[in-house]
Chain A
């Protein structure tokens, strides 16, 4: 794992809002097949960084490559199609669409998604729909959402929406998943299940994860790499135990005994 090549590399990424440099030259590597946690105090620029590297914000500088291909400044849909797919801090379930439609929407390579294809390529369109429906069914079962397939996504609980968003992202067959606070606002049981899913997907499908998380317990016990951001920069990077004892990290973030607390809980 240690000598794994980076699947994603960001160099000196900058994002300004007026005079504020929300992301101020962040540089990082994410190793292929790793579960990497992105931590840092509030306002460190983690979510902004996510938004820049997934195309939702226009960068003001820097570069990024996914799987060797440049991605920085590309539109979100183009980045997602490469296999680098994100979820959102506040879940974006497509509320007035059934759960199954949320899932099927996410599948790539549907010829029926073009106006021409949907009219003139009916057979290809229908056979792909069948395939996608089966995949969606399997994933919903895996996430224990199969009973809700025909419910509107808006009727799901917060935790179920988080699961749906992860399951939906998996429909795109991603190689690199970026999860913005996947554990926030869900009960511990669902949270544990989400972590199990991540670990299984990493082992079985080789999916790489980068996730923003505030719960040190989760970070220390469930990630194999930790990247620490503060004031728009990456101030430390390494294995959890290395980061925990890094003086810069303690000064900037962990400060008043948070690592000890993490020790105590874990």
Chain B
């Protein structure tokens, strides 16, 4: 037998908690990418600042709960509202820019959010993250969530034999995916409504839409505001998952990964976002288990190379993604 230099163990594939952890990430970034799909796939707005909206949603919710002592019922809607307001404030000047300049402006926005999160230590806990705030206030953002999670485990999962030991964070997985499913379904109907028809017209040709009496700018702004809320929701779940957040969780890389899921799944399809996100996160997390004769940081860089190559191959052989419509892609140009 030839000894392969690469030893691969596939044990992880049969471990439930691995799949549940991947599923939680895929779900969280699926919600995140639904917003990108609405912007990019349906409105033609190149939003590269989704990580910024995710950051604002997560930080605002945590600050409201930990610093101000609000309940989730107040903190979560308030953080969503704040994200909408920020989205509108960002969109008002920058959506007047041409698409590519808008993309640059939104990357700048998300980096500004991250810089503020890094440096406004009293507000955000700085580089160590919100755990600082939680220790100071002796109040933990995830406490109410954990009691909900325990309730789900005891009352819904234990009775059917899904124990916490074997299945890990199954309650979070379920809540994330139910939310993702409902949001995707809602958006699916929304883009097929007359409202969505105007969005698609704006995507195709803004001037044609305006000539027919549609306020294209207002629709782009609405699309961005909806995406911002989706970013905020994904931010809450990220905070539940990580227990405390710091600025590294909101690097532009995550927006690009969101675009990766979008391209994999195909433009103008919300189902595609779900499948794309699952594929992307399975690849990214699965490759962690490659047992290579390399340092850990090299392995972690390698998995991005592998995902990149897969995306390149996809672009070469199926540019419309898995669920995208080829006609819409070709005719859209």
Say which one of A111-119, A234-242, A244-252, A258-266 lies at the interface with B. Answer: A111-119
Task: Please name 18 pairs of A and B residues whose Cβ atoms are closer than 8 Å in the assembled complex, sorted by A.
Answer: A55-B210, A56-B210, A75-B210, A76-B210, A80-B212, A85-B211, A88-B207, A92-B207, A94-B204, A96-B200, A101-B200, A105-B197, A105-B209, A112-B195, A117-B195, A125-B193, A129-B194, A152-B327
Tell me whether B212 and A168 are in contact (CB under 8 A). yes
Can you name the residue of chain B whose Cβ is closest to the Cβ of A54? Answer: B211
Within the assembled complex, what's the spacing in Å between the Cα atoms of A76 and B201?
15
Within the assembled complex, what's the spacing in Å between the Cα atoms of A125 and B193?
9
Q: Is B121 positioned at the interface, with any CB of A under 8 Å from its CB?
A: no
Q: Is A142 positioned at the interface, with any CB of B under 8 Å from its CB?
A: no
Within the assembled complex, what's the spacing in Å between the Cα atoms of A125 and B190?
13
Chain B, range 307-329, C-beta contacts under 8 Å to A = 327-329
Within the assembled complex, what's the spacing in Å between the Cα atoms of A85 and B213?
8
Quick one: given A105-B201, A112-B195, are A94 and B208 in contact (CB under 8 Å)?
A: yes
Within the assembled complex, what's the spacing in Å between the Cα atoms of A38 and B182?
54
Q: Is A106 positioned at the interface, with any CB of B under 8 Å from its CB?
A: yes
Tell me whether B213 and A96 are in contact (CB under 8 A). no
Q: Is A110 positioned at the interface, with any CB of B under 8 Å from its CB?
A: yes
Report which of B194, B204, B214 forms a contact with A96, defined as CB distance below 8 A.
B204
Chain A interface, >50% SS class? helix
Q: Is A97 positioned at the interface, with any CB of B under 8 Å from its CB?
A: yes
Chain A, range 46-92, C-beta contacts under 8 Å to B = 54-56, 75-77, 80-81, 85-88, 92
Quick one: given A94-B204, A118-B193, A125-B193, are A152 and B331 in contact (CB under 8 Å)?
A: yes
Tell me whether B328 and A80 are in contact (CB under 8 A). no
Complex contacts, A168 vs chain B, CB 8 Å: 212
Within the assembled complex, what's the spacing in Å between the Cα atoms of A117 and B198?
13
Q: Is A108 positioned at the interface, with any CB of B under 8 Å from its CB?
A: yes
Q: Is B332 positioned at the interface, with any CB of A under 8 Å from its CB?
A: yes
Can you name the residue of chain A whose Cβ is closest to the Cβ of B212? Answer: A106
Q: Is B149 positioned at the interface, with any CB of A under 8 Å from its CB?
A: no
Chain B, range 88-111, C-beta contacts under 8 Å to A = none
List residues of A whose CB falls within 8 A of some B CB: 54-56, 75-77, 80-81, 85-88, 92-97, 101, 104-106, 108, 110, 112-115, 117-119, 125, 128-129, 152-155, 168-169, 171-172
Tell me whether B194 and A118 are in contact (CB under 8 A). yes
Tell me whether A81 and B210 are in contact (CB under 8 A). no
Q: Is B222 positioned at the interface, with any CB of A under 8 Å from its CB?
A: yes
Chain B interface, >50% SS class? helix
CB distance from B282 to the nearest CB of A (A): 31
Within the assembled complex, what's the spacing in Å between the Cα atoms of A54 and B212?
11
List residues of B whose CB falls within 8 A of some A CB: 190, 193-198, 200-201, 203-205, 207-216, 222, 226, 327-332
Within the assembled complex, what's the spacing in Å between the Cα atoms of A77 and B202?
12
Within the assembled complex, what's the spacing in Å between the Cα atoms of A77 and B219?
12
Can you name the residue of chain A whose Cβ is closest to the Cβ of B214? Answer: A77
Tell me whether B197 and A169 are in contact (CB under 8 A). no
Tell me whether B200 and A77 are in contact (CB under 8 A). no
The 5 closest A-B CB pairs, nearest first, are A154-B331, A112-B194, A92-B208, A80-B213, A94-B204
Give 17 new A-B contacts, CB below 8 A, not counting A77-B210, A125-B193.
Answer: A75-B215, A76-B210, A77-B212, A77-B215, A77-B216, A85-B213, A94-B204, A96-B200, A112-B193, A112-B194, A115-B222, A118-B196, A128-B194, A153-B331, A154-B330, A154-B331, A155-B331
Within the assembled complex, what's the spacing in Å between the Cα atoms of A113 and B200?
12
Report which of B193, B212, B331 forms a contact with A169, defined as CB distance below 8 A.
B212
Tell me whether A113 and B212 are in contact (CB under 8 A). no
Complex contacts, B212 vs chain A, CB 8 Å: 77, 80, 85, 105-106, 168-169, 171-172
Within the assembled complex, what's the spacing in Å between the Cα atoms of A117 and B197?
14
CB distance from B286 to the nearest CB of A (A): 35
Within the assembled complex, what's the spacing in Å between the Cα atoms of A167 and B207?
17
Within the assembled complex, what's the spacing in Å between the Cα atoms of A251 and B23?
76
Complex contacts, B331 vs chain A, CB 8 Å: 95-96, 152-155
Tell me whether B200 and A97 are in contact (CB under 8 A). yes
CB distance from B185 to the nearest CB of A (A): 13
